[in-house]
Structure 1
Amino acid sequence: MNMAIDQVLLESSSNDPIVRFYQWSRPSVSCGYFVAVAEVELAYPERNYDFVRRLTGGGMVDHRNDFTYSIIVPRGHALSEAKGDVSYELIHRAVSRALHSVGVENDMQSEDTGSGQGVCFDTPVTKDLVLADSGAKLAGAGQRRNKFGLLHQGSVLADGLDGNLFSRHLLDEFGNSRGDYQLSEFQLELAKKLAAHRYSSAAWNLRR
């Protein structure tokens, strides 16, 4: 359902970026669009989790100890029209400032340490965020562009993170001038159908 809501928001008409924060009702692992299922099974052999393939790229994310957010940017907006590495950096700089505001000291990774398709928090890639003291990965994301705009799905390690305070600071980074966005009944029904027929299906999740 989380993946379905993001897709519906991406494909809906909007004049401004939407920042969405969400949680997982059960232990879950998501993988980027291009990750092979065999890699997921090798990394998480216990299989005591729900599994879903994201619309965005990137690696495997264990959502049992993270804080997840999405940013949906409509076509025509500067972030949507920017090249992938530029939009990734600009969004992560905003995330970095929000984390600094809640006392989490962090830096931006300057070079790749992996392909970006492994276990997400094992291998930071360029423009990911890392802890200032240890260099351990703190935040990463996957992106997808299409004719509707840009979808950025991000994950931040939750150890000691005040999620409510962080989310308020991140909203401030994006202006937060339009208030809370509410899904319409039509959007909610579309999301339920996508959740059932795409993101819960073997045809989608086991396609690689």
Structure 2
Amino acid sequence: HRDDWTYALILHPSLACAKTPATELYEHIHRAIGRALESLDIETQLAPCPKACSSQMTSPRIPKHASQCFVTPAANDVLRSDGRKIAGAAMKRNRHGLLIQGSLDRAALPQDFDCVYFQRELLEQLASALSIPNGSLEDIRPLFNSERIEREKQRFESREWNHRR
């Protein structure tokens, strides 16, 4: 995950989409990502369920440096038209809501990929697909220099923490 564009989506439990079955929600989110990519003329498809794979799907060409997460697509991951995985995600649901964390493999995208346009388009597509208000992007970079982050970095880099694990 060193060359990814990552995102996180938090859905409050009061939202109807937060109650959607996980596989269905995963598909809705990835269709929204696909539509946002297609608005940039990047052809996409969703990976079929492994039990329903057909010969119609092209075998992906995966570079040796690809992250393990991008080697084998799961059902409804976003693929390029040649079968290479572009995007995947993971979900965690509890009584407080639903967290979706995902990433797009930047190496699978064109060199001139317009990330700013994609961000705006993705927000619109997600809002439409999930029937939620269009959200806003938060710039979290200022948090990276906070005192709390520095304490956590020191803790995770400490000999005590790493030897205990």
- For the criterion TM > 0.5, the same-fold answer is yes
Unaligned 5+ segments in structure 2 are 52-66, 128-132
Matched with 1:126 is 75
Matched with 1:72 is 10
The structure richer in strand per residue is: 1
Alignment RMSD: 3.4
Matched with 2:114 is 162
Unaligned 5+ segments in structure 1 are 1-61
Q: Tell me how far 1:102 sits from its aligned partner.
A: 1.0
Q: Is the CA contact 2:123–2:134 (under 8 Å) kept in the aligned structure 1?
A: no
Q: Tell me how far 1:174 sits from its aligned partner.
A: 3.3
SS at match of 1:174: helix
What is the alpha-carbon distance in structure 1 between the residues aligned to residue 41 and residue 69 of structure 2?
23
Q: Is the CA contact 2:50–2:74 (under 8 Å) kept in the aligned structure 1?
A: yes
What is the alpha-carbon distance in structure 2 between the residues aligned to residue 195 and residue 71 of structure 1?
23
% identity of equivalent residues: 31
How many residues align structurally?
Answer: 137
- 1:149 has 2:97 as partner: yes
Q: List structure 1 segments (4+ residues) > 6 angstroms apart after TM superposition.
A: 197-204
- Greater CA radius of gyration, 1 or 2? 2
**What pairs up with 1:52-201 in 2 under 5 angstroms?**
62-63=1-2, 65-112=3-50, 119-132=68-81, 134-158=82-106, 159-160=109-110, 161-175=113-127, 177=134, 179-181=136-138, 192=149, 195-196=152-153
The structure richer in helix per residue is: 2
TM-score (ref. length: structure 2): 0.67
What is the alpha-carbon distance in structure 2 between the residues aligned to residue 179 and residue 197 of structure 1?
32
